[in-house]
Amino acid sequence: MKESKGDKNRMKSFSKRLSVLLVVLLALSMLAGCASEAAPAAGETTEASEPAVEPIVIGYVGALSGETAVWGQAGMNGMELTAKEINDAGGILGRPIEVIGLDGKGDPIDSVNAYKKLVSQGAIAVVGTNFSSCNIPMAAVAGQMEVPVIATAASNPLVTVDENGNLHPYSFRIGFIDPFQGKVLAAFAKEELQAMNAAVIMDLNSDYSAGVTEFFVGAFEEKGGEILTIVEAQSGQNDFRAQLSKIAPLDPDVILVPWIYKDVALIANQARELGIDAIFLGADGWDSKELITMAGPALEGCYYTSQPSFANPVTKPYYDAYVEMFDGLVPETEALFGHDGLYWIKDAIERAGEVDIAKLRDELETTTGFAGLLGDLTVDPATHNPDKSVSVYQIKDNMQEFVGEFRP
Amino acid sequence: MLLQQLINGISVGGIYALLATGYALIYSLLGFSNWAHGEVAMLGAYIGILSVTSLQMPFLFAVILAVVGAGLISVFNEKIAYKRIRDNNSPTMFLMIAAMGLSTTFQNMAIVVFGPKFKMFPQILPVGAVKIGSLSVGLLDLVSLGIVIVVIIGLQYLITKTKFGLAVKAASSNMGTASLLGINVDKYIMLVFFLAGSLAGISGVLYGMKYTVYPQLGNVALKAFIASVFGGLGSVQGAIVGAMGIGLLETLVSAYIHSGLRDLITFILLIAILLFRPTGLMGKDIQDKA
């Protein structure tokens, strides 16, 4: 505002108006403070309180509703908790973070739209989703819009590298890729469980299921094991007995079930009912507290691979903070991805020394040894795949028990 | 293995049958497909599971509550929506649109109230099977099949041998005339909705026990609808035969052709029936369907 040159009278009324304005502003900022406290999820900017420092907007896309909302909501909660932690410690380069979460519904089209909307709202990077089927199209769109997207648990190779082997320059991932899990499972089955043969029931609509299956089969056969059969079914059909009845007479040592926990529970129970007593093996789709509640004793003694999880003691303070912030809600592993995703972005921005999207991308690509709660992360610049180990868990006495860290 | 697949198919078909008869009953009386029927089954399943898990009720009592509750929800639909539309002499199409609205409302309400997660009934029966040679029949399947048979025989008796059945048949053949002859048509419509809702409640609980309880559970009613078209819309016996047929077809297609083709073939069947035999297997008159 320019200096006003008028007479005393005008000056007086001006300062009076100014003081009224200030009072109103103060009241507004208090109101805004209350509002943001009451509804931190709404993603409203609190510009009135800190007009000088514009927040850094970081997006999150996940299934906040629908069949898989159990993960999306955990990821979103994890982002909120972490943003609060970072903001309390002074933000990134002195600027606060603002997390905006949008519902991708676990659907490729909705997820791409959510990503685009976040970019239009000024997001400098987007974390999510945990589904390869959503992140494969998001990666291509990110290449056009030039805003990094960081997949969480999505583990198909095509998330960062297209079918012709070309890198998606703006697509990154926190978790490992399918080959890792399929290969580790094959090695584990052959060497630790001494399995001679295996059968697979796979979800024909899921890239994830197909990815784990492909690499399991390749590695298992390479190690001298025999794949007896691969049967296909679809998520949502609920009744898998037609497919399982084909596996039953073959009596395999292990059965690979690369599905999400709800289907795993149904498949396991129906298989036991048909008299199948093989050990089931699965990947990180099994990783939910709901699995054991739903499957009951049918999965006793079975194994799955997953990201390092809350079983790791370093996650304890974060776990406690989460439980406290969300009224006793037990976090899913996806919450850790929200945590590592935000800190990874913070790490990259701080290495770049300024908030610049192109520099952020470069720094993400050259990350070495970023220490998150999910283990140390080093990115391969050629594929954007992280190098990290895979945890194997066993279901024992209705608990998920950590067996160890394995590499293929 | 074929025998095992037939057993699998019959067990799937049994649950479709309970839902399909509800479609058939309401269609025969009012001439429209009650799209909210699946959601009545879903709500019945939730009443059952919450009674057992949250209220710690004995299982049998929870089932009775689910069945009566689902029946009352079905009557509620009739009272707040369908009856008013009939009283306004609006076209039948309005009933169907109202039913779609109710279906979406209930499904979204369930997501808000019960949450999107899948819920599992506590194991009332151990996961086990009766073995006959190399065949195995699940305990739960045997129990559900028993329930399905008892319910269907009871329903058959109700329709063919009682005054209730006679009145319903009269009303479905011509509502105006039945009314002139002193039948309280509205009362019987309400009773039919209660009956159809209760059947949906049983099927919801059985489906929930066999698989899981979740807000989209009602979508299974689409298969039951196809079954009732297959059997002849409006025919209760047709609905049962149609449901068993669809259950077997789906299982055999999954087992011997390809899982991906399961729904495709089922829906092709629906279209083929509408084109070449619109009365279905046992339907009586050709009317507009769907």
Query: Who among B120, B131, B134 is closest to A294 (CB)?
Result: B120
The mean pLDDT of B123-143, rounded to a whole number, is 76
- Interface size A-B, in CB pairs within 8 Å, comes to 92
CATH ID of B2-123+137-276, from 1.10.3470, 1.10.10, 1.10.357, 2.60.40? 1.10.3470
Burial class (CB in 10 A: 0-12, 13-18, 19+), A354: exposed
> What confidence tens digit (pLDDT) does each residue in A146-205 have?
999 999 988 788 999 999 989 999 999 998 887 778 989 999 999 999 999 999 999 988
Cβ neighbors of A345 (< 8 A, separation 6 or more) are: A58, A92, A124, A125, A127, A150, A360, A364
In this prediction, residue A359 carries a pLDDT of 95
A254 Cβ under 8 Å from any chain B Cβ: no
- Look at the block and give the residue holding tokens 């151990």: B126
Query: Who among A242, A262, A290 is closest to B8 (CB)?
Result: A242
Query: Who among A242, A269, A298 is closest to B255 (CB)?
Result: A242
Superfamily of segment(s) A179-306: Response regulator (3.40.50.2300)
Say if A56-176+311-389 and A179-306 have the same CATH topology: yes
What are the chain A neighbours of B212 within 8 Å (beta carbons)? 238, 262, 265-266, 294
In this prediction, residue A377 carries a pLDDT of 87
Q: What percent of chain B stands above pLDDT 70?
A: 96
The mean pLDDT of A103-111, rounded to a whole number, is 93
What are the chain A neighbours of B4 within 8 Å (beta carbons)? 245, 248, 274
ipTM of the shown complex = 0.79
pTM check: above 0.80: no
Q: What percent of chain A stands above pLDDT 70?
A: 87
Judged by CB atoms closer than 8 Å, whether chains meet at B118 and A262 is answered as: yes
Q: How far is A333 from chain B (nearest CA, A)?
A: 16
> What confidence tens digit (pLDDT) does each residue in A218-247 have?
999 999 999 999 999 988 888 899 999 999
In this prediction, residue B122 carries a pLDDT of 80
Judged by CB atoms closer than 8 Å, whether chains meet at A232 and B259 is answered as: yes
Q: How far is A29 from chain B (nearest CA, A)?
A: 33
Q: Give residue A377's identity as a one-letter amino acid code.
A: L
Window 44-73 of A: residues touching B by CB (8 A cutoff) are 65-67, 69-70
Judged by CB atoms closer than 8 Å, whether chains meet at B127 and A269 is answered as: yes
Superfamily of segment(s) A56-176+311-389: Response regulator (3.40.50.2300)
In this prediction, residue A7 carries a pLDDT of 45
Question: Are B44 and B69 contacting, i.e. CB atoms less than 8 angstroms apart?
Answer: yes
Query: Who among A243, A249, A296 is closest to B123 (CB)?
Result: A296
Distance of CA B178 to the CA centre of its chain: 27
Judged by CB atoms closer than 8 Å, whether chains meet at A265 and B212 is answered as: yes
In this prediction, residue A13 carries a pLDDT of 53
The string of DSSP codes covering A31-61 is HHHHHHHH-GGG----TTT-SSSPPEEEEEE
CA-wise closest residue to B43 among B125, B140, B111: B111
Window 208-237 of A: residues touching B by CB (8 A cutoff) are 231-234, 237
The domain ranges of chain A are: 56-176+311-389, 179-306
In this prediction, residue A6 carries a pLDDT of 42
The domain ranges of chain B are: 2-123+137-276
